[in-house]
Amino acid sequence: MNDQTAISKIDSIVDDWLCRFNAALHQTSSSADDAPAGFARLFHDNSFWRDALALSWQLQTIVGATDILNSLPAAAAKSGISAITLNPQATAPRLVTRAGNDAIEAFVTFTTDAAHCRGILRLNADDKHPDHYRAWTFFTAIDALIGFEEKTDRNRPTGQSYSRDFRGRNWLDKRLAAASYETHDPAVLVVGGGQAGLAIAARLTQLGIDTLIVDKNRRVGDNWRNRYHALTLHNQLHVNHLPYMPFPPTWPTYIPKDMLALWFESYATAMELNFWTQCEVTKASYDDKAGRWQVALNTADGGKRHMSPRHVIMATGVSGIPNLPKIDSLSAFQGPAVHSSQYHDGEDWSGKHAIVLGCGNSGHDISQDLYSSGAKVTMIQRSPSLVVNIEPSAQFPYKLYDEGRGTDECDFITTSMPTPLVKQAHRHFTKAARKTDKALLDGLENVGFKLDFGDDDTGWQFKYLTRGGGYYFNVGCSDLLAEGKIDLVQFDQIDQFTDYGMVMKDGRKIDADIVIMATGYKPQEYLVSKLFGDEIAARIGPIWGFGDGMELRNMYCQTGQPGLWFIAGSFAQCRIYSKYLALQIKALEEGIIQPQQP
């Protein structure tokens, strides 16, 4: 079969499925009782439907043909879905391999009563009927609200609002007035100005929703700028763009922290974001009758301000309040004992002894920074850790972004994959990484380093998604450990801390001038309790991780507390899911949907 014949066959298979699906939709609109029969042969028994707000106004994954048939037809009918057609602006249907499975992948488009939508369909043959193709995965996603499209590209402002009125206010005058909030409150208050806060504020601003970011740091970008001297991002530039403004193509593969901090400042200005620095939320309560928050703020000038936004978005990230484990004997240590968030530069400890407690990315990077500055370093391991070389192994999950596709299409493919299949793919990446990194991993085990590879061998990304850490992208520290240049001890080998360092159970004494606790951060629930009270924290429940479901808990969606939202994660997660979060808020503001009842 030549290439043209193969393409024609693929197109025919996709067209046939879409015709049968659209016919089933017509059955649904005329008689709900006939819908299951019309849909019956469209999906494999072990299939997945993931919806990102298009048909259900939820981020949800439904597994198996039976459950899909029990929910998709009704959701489609309720949404007012149109016929589904191929998306002419996306890659044409073709054979792909996703999560180790071969399938025909096709990008589709449709509308509902409220929105322009798009999706991805993946088909493979029925085992019993090889000429009959069924859906293996089906992804439906909102793209834009009809009548409330983003102010971008051809829909961008005409410039008339900034006309050449020599006696009127110019652009800068209007920006300063808008950001001052002297006469009004924002509709949305975003707490935290890192990549999560910037991404969601940019999305909301393009939807015409008045949004203010508040951040306790002195400058935009300080959440990166103030971290340790040697820090660079651990994944590559092309995965880390913010919405609307990709990084310049001249930038390095791995972005240094200060370069990123300056970009954050430029981004906030270029995207016309309202941003108050040195401003901290101290307390907030919700007025159920008014549907507004009452938020108390400490401002940069030392004053206090009260605001009444309809929505508060917590964008403080997975890393919030430092986690400081209780170690009874540590109080005996006479030197500084600091959390990794307070560590800045190894040059301050040149020629001295340092103990680093923790084996995640921060613990390893700080240990390597100290060693490179001439300090003698002892690393303490409390529990098994995952180690993967930064290249090529840590980049295996991002190969899709190297295929020459645009970032938007890569993001869409990534988002379309249901969690069980993502786990399946990451088991494959982990297996390949273990083989590629075998020499390094053997060397670590030889010096007593305890390794693990994530729950069910799903690797570093699911460690991040479930606990926010517990892994290290090796940029050299693992080699130093394997070569004995940085000492390693296990936490259970310590007898006690002393005024000068540690005494081990075997009698060894380890001196220290500083102890650095690279012990991660408390779950976001702690910050919620602090700002909003225990009752609201209990109403919301756990944040981040999966629990028993297939979506991150309370992330990017309506929560048990009306008007309180959460966004966090990697640059890619914030770029992708800020869109869905912003569209939900816009739909609520315009009365298209109603608040979810607790």
For 9, residues 6+ apart whose C-beta sits below 8 A from its C-beta are 1
Token pair, residue 191, equals 């707490």
- Please identify, among 478, 496, 517, the residue that sits at the C-terminal boundary of a domain: 517
Token pair, residue 321, equals 């309040």
Q: Looking at the structure, tell me whether residues 308 and 339 fall in a common domain.
A: no
According to the model, what pLDDT value does residue 3 have? Answer: 65
Instruction: Give me the number of domains the chain comprises.
Output: 3
For 132, residues 6+ apart whose C-beta sits below 8 A from its C-beta are 41, 125, 126
DSSP 244: S
Q: Looking at the structure, tell me whether residues 93 and 25 fall in a common domain.
A: yes
Q: Which domain holds residue 573?
A: 170-320+566-589
Q: Is residue 101 part of a domain?
A: yes
Contact 112, 592 (CB under 8 A): no
Token pair, residue 245, equals 């403004």
CATH code: domain of residue 391: 3.50.50.60
- What is the mean pLDDT of each successive set of 10 residues along the chain, which is 598 residues long? 73 96 81 63 95 97 95 94 96 94 97 98 88 94 96 73 70 93 96 97 97 97 89 90 96 96 98 97 96 97 96 85 90 95 90 96 95 97 96 93 87 97 96 98 98 95 91 96 98 96 96 96 91 95 91 96 96 97 98 87
Q: Looking at the structure, tell me whether residues 309 and 334 fall in a common domain.
A: no
- Please identify, among 498, 517, 536, the residue that sits at the C-terminal boundary of a domain: 517
Length of the chain: 598
Q: Is residue 191 part of a domain?
A: yes
- Cα 404 to Cα 89, 255, 397, 426: the distances in Å are 16, 21, 15, 22
Q: Looking at the structure, tell me whether residues 369 and 438 fall in a common domain.
A: yes
Q: Looking at the structure, tell me whether residues 59 and 113 fall in a common domain.
A: yes
Contact 337, 325 (CB under 8 A): no
Q: Is residue 561 part of a domain?
A: no
Q: Is residue 487 part of a domain?
A: yes
Q: Is residue 556 part of a domain?
A: no
What is the pTM (predicted TM-score) of this model? 0.94
Q: Looking at the structure, tell me whether residues 333 and 315 fall in a common domain.
A: no
Q: Looking at the structure, tell me whether residues 193 and 48 fall in a common domain.
A: no
For residue 473, the cross-strand partners are: 388
Q: State the DSSP H helix or E strand holding residue 527, giving kind and residue range, or none if neither.
A: helix 524-532
**Three-class DSSP category at 274:** strand
Residue with tokens 């479901």: 549
Q: Looking at the structure, tell me whether residues 402 and 339 fall in a common domain.
A: yes
For 424, residues 6+ apart whose C-beta sits below 8 A from its C-beta are 99, 100
DSSP 89: T
Q: Is residue 283 part of a domain?
A: yes
Q: Looking at the structure, tell me whether residues 120 and 210 fall in a common domain.
A: no
- Please identify, among 517, 537, 557, the residue that sits at the C-terminal boundary of a domain: 517
Q: Is 326 exposed, middle or buried (0-12, 13-18, 19+ CB in 10 A)?
A: exposed
DSSP 595: P
Contact 134, 42 (CB under 8 A): yes
Q: How far is CA 362 from the centre of its chain?
A: 19
Q: Looking at the structure, tell me whether residues 288 and 415 fall in a common domain.
A: no
Token pair, residue 39, equals 């849909």
Of 283, 276, 145, 163, the residue nearest 209 (C-alpha)? 145
CATH code: domain of residue 12: 3.10.450.50
Q: Is residue 542 part of a domain?
A: no
Helices (H), 244-303: 257-270
Q: Looking at the structure, tell me whether residues 292 and 243 fall in a common domain.
A: yes
- Cα 331 to Cα 90, 328, 520, 561: the distances in Å are 60, 7, 20, 40
Of 414, 462, 454, the residue nearest 434 (C-alpha)? 454
Q: State the DSSP H helix or E strand holding residue 489, giving kind and residue range, or none if neither.
A: strand 487-490
Q: Looking at the structure, tell me whether residues 96 and 213 fall in a common domain.
A: no
Q: Is residue 441 part of a domain?
A: yes
According to the model, what pLDDT value does residue 157 have? Answer: 72
